[in-house]
Amino acid sequence: MTMSYLAPAIAHEQRDSLLGRTSPLVKLAIAVLWLLGLGLTVHPGPPLVLIVVTLIAGIELGRIPLPRLAARLVPLALAAAGIAVTNLVFSGQNADPAATELTRIGPLRITEEAVAAAFGIGARIGAIVAVGAVFALTTDPTRLVDALVQQGRISPRFAYGALAAYQAVPRLADDLATLRAARRLRGLREWHPRILVGLLVRAIRRADQLAIAMDARGFGSPDLGARTTFRPLHWSILDAVVLLTGVVLIVVLLLATR
Amino acid sequence: MTTLDRVRVPPTAPPSAAPPSAAWRTRDIVVTAVIGVAFGVVFWAWGLAWGAFEPLNLVVPVLRDSLYAVWLVPAVLAPLIVRRPGAALFAEMGAAGVSALLGSQWGVDTLLSGFVQGAAAELVFAFTLYQVWSLPVLSVAAVASAAAAWIHDWVLYYPDFAIELQILRGVLMAISALVFVAGGSVLLVRALRRAGVLEGFPA
């Protein structure tokens, strides 16, 4: 587990791509809208189209290198397939005597209707996986928080407090290595739930220091007058185009497969 | 160790005497966020391990969901420590956001899950006006969070499950929440207090 893997700073190429320059809030809004839209249908069509569109957009508009995208997708796709299989095996339609029996595996009866439903659910989860991966691989966490504050009107104290805490992720990996080494030295099992206590102790100590440093610099202090921004963000035509495309796409897909 | 390590925030009032106020100190914000981030990493690892727990479902269908509540811990642990309105939602969504950025098979739905799970616990704490932090209240908050997750997953991931299995899933998740979330939070807070990092917090 390397530090760079755990602290995913995205590369310049993705950050300056079309999708990288789109407001993170627009991408987030589309992702949530698509998610809600997919919850409304069991048809496999809409999620399959969204998977194709998302992956092409990620590669072409987001400039995500194919190996990087694949490395992110493969383990997640396997987990998604697991959920689809679970749905297939435990489908209520397998017990329905009117359903067409396809095969039997030991005591399990698998019906055509259950296969169709599981395929739809598998496609839905595949779409969720693809959208999440492309969002994470084209969104700089700092820009996400800037957008939440400037465009989403989230309280800067909470948003930047969370960002400051997020920067500690690579240190958490270091802490974990230290704690495991310490346990090994004492002849204990390296993995134990107690490690979590050690991790939290170190994280909270660091949070205390961070809070003192932030207070000392007048972070979020109402006495300092109006706030200025270091990295001003503005809505652009690009944001409007991407948002419109995303909304139209899901509406058309849902209407077409009704 | 730097000199800052030994600096302690001077308590303006005896920690447990005054009722918890609605105003967040910077320290409350950052500590809540850090708990969220630490559990975000735990969520991410738990998500990767989740596939490996699949064989549990072959022993008893949906048995795996008895491990579900690990995803609900920050929604009770963080408010139990800082005791501020919104802490459950902030910590749970922070953890969900971090695990989504690190890479989760639930993608952006992680945020939606985090929202409903955090909001359910938040409602329970709001109902006590953030005054009562007994084990029964923590247990109700934990089960409420599990109930929200149960409904969300029913609609999105298991729409085709037989109703008996949905109920069994709900019962397993509730038990899981009592053990991991309510019990786990109390044990973690006790360990953290013993380690001396909760000075100046009401917990």
- Quick: pLDDT tens for A38-81: 888 888 899 999 999 999 999 999 999 999 899 888 877 887 78
- Work out the angle between the directed axes of helices B109-127 and B135-156 (0-180°, nearest 10): 150
Any B CB within 8 A of A218 CB: no
Contact A125 B9 (CB under 8 A): no
- Over residues B50-71, the pLDDT tens digits come to 777 877 877 777 888 888 999 9
Point out the residue among A72, A158, A199 whose CB comes nearest to the CB of B29. Answer: A158
The answer to whether residue B4 scores a pLDDT higher than 70 is no
| A82: contact with B, CB 8 A cutoff | yes
Q: Containing domain of residue A119, as a range? A: 10-151+233-256
The CA distance from A228 to the nearest CA of chain B, in Å, is 19
Kindly state whether residues A160 and A105 are assigned to the same domain. no
Q: What is the pLDDT of residue A243?
A: 95
The one-letter amino acid at A121:
I
Nearest to A136 among B54, B103, B159 (CB): B103
Could you tell me if A90 and A186 lie in one domain?
Answer: no
Lowest model confidence (mean pLDDT) among A212-221, B84-93, B110-119, B189-198 = A212-221
Is A4 among the domain residues? no
Residue B199 to residue A182: CA distance in whole angstroms: 26
* Same-domain check for residues A67 and A117: yes
Q: Do A130 and B107 touch (CB under 8 A)?
A: yes
User: Which DSSP string corresponds to chain A?
Assistant: --HHHHS-PPPHHHHTSHHHHS-HHHHHHHHHHHHHHHHT---SHHHHHHHHHHHHHHHHTS---HHHHHHHHHHHHHHHHHHHHHHHHTBGGGS-TTSPEEEEETTEEEEHHHHHHHHHHHHHHHHHHHHHHHHHHH--HHHHHHHHHHTT---HHHHHHHHHHHTTHHHHHHHHHHHHHHHHHTT--S--THHHHHHHHHHHHHHHHHHHHHHHTTTT-GGG-S---SS-----HHHHHHHHHHHHHHHHHHHHT-
* Nearest in space to B101 (alpha carbons), one of B87, B120, B114, B119: B114
pLDDT of residue B21: 61
pLDDT band at B17 (very low <50, low <70, confident <90, very high): very low
Chain A residues in contact with B4 by the CB 8 A cut-off are 209, 212-213
| Residue A72 sits in the same domain as residue A106 | yes
Closest CB from A133, A203, A213 relative to B103: A133
CB contact under 8 A, A204 and B34: yes
Clarify whether residues A19 and A146 are in a common domain. Answer: yes
Tokens (6 digits) for B106: 């639930």
Residue B202 has a CB neighbour count (10 Å cut-off) of 16
Strand partners, A91: B161
Q: What is the phi/psi pair of residue B197, to 5°?
A: -95, 0
Distance CA A50, CA A44 (A): 10
CA atoms within 13 A on the CB side of A242: 24
The chain A residue lying nearest B33, using CA atoms, is A162
**Residue at A211 is within a domain:** yes
What would the two tokens of residue B59 be? 């022993």
Q: Does B41 touch chain A (CB under 8 A)?
A: yes
- Pick the range with the lowest mean pLDDT from A63-67, A127-131, B103-107, B134-138: B103-107
Number of domains in chain A: 2
Q: Which of B54, B94, B160 sits opposite A162 (nearest CB)?
A: B94
In a domain, A5, yes or no: no
Q: Is residue A17 part of a domain?
A: yes
Residues A138 and A27 occupy one common structural domain:
yes
In three-state secondary structure terms, B172 is helix
Same domain, A69 and A140: yes
Phi-psi map region of A218: left, alpha, beta (phi>0 left; psi -120 to 50 alpha): left
Q: Which chain B residues are closer than 8 Å to A135 by Cβ?
A: 100, 107-108
- Of the candidates A112, A86, A87, A84, the one whose C-alpha atom is nearest the C-alpha of residue A98 is A112
The whole-number pLDDT of residue A9 equals 66
Tell me the average confidence (pLDDT) per consecutive run of 10 residues in chain A, 258 residues long: 50 86 93 90 90 94 91 82 79 73 75 84 88 90 90 89 86 87 87 86 91 87 75 91 95 90
- Chain B contact set for A39 (CB, 8 A): 155-156
Task: Choose the weakest-confidence range: B12-26, B105-119, B183-197.
Answer: B12-26
Binning pLDDT at 50, 70 and 90, where does residue B45 land? Answer: confident
**A131/A211 same-domain check:** no
Closest residue on chain B to A91 (Cα): B161
CB atoms < 10 A from the CB of A2, how many? 8
CB contact under 8 A, B157 and A125: yes
Asked if B149 and B173 count as a contact pair (C-beta separation under 8 A), the reply is yes
- The answer as to whether A56 is a domain residue is yes
Give the integer Cα–Cα distance in Å for B75 and B113. Answer: 12
Judge if A93 and A123 occupy the same domain.
Answer: yes
CB contact under 8 A, A211 and B26: yes
- Residue A2 placed within a domain: no
What is the chain A residue with the closest CA to B46? A79
Angle CA B34–B76–B47, to nearest 5: 70
C-alpha to C-alpha distance for A82 and A167, rounded to whole angstroms: 33
Q: The dihedral of CA A120, A125, A131, A137: what is its sign?
A: negative
Same domain flag for A46 and A94: yes
* Residue in B closest to A212 by C-alpha: B27
Q: Does A162 touch chain B (CB under 8 A)?
A: yes
Alpha helices in B62-159 (DSSP H): 74-82, 87-102, 109-127, 135-156
- Tokens matching residue A28: 């987030």
What is the mean pLDDT of the segment spanning B84-107?
89
- What pLDDT was estimated at residue A46? 92
Asked, for residue A59, whether it belongs to a domain, the answer is yes
Give domain status of residue A1, yes or no.
no
CB contact under 8 Å between B29 and A199, yes or no, is no
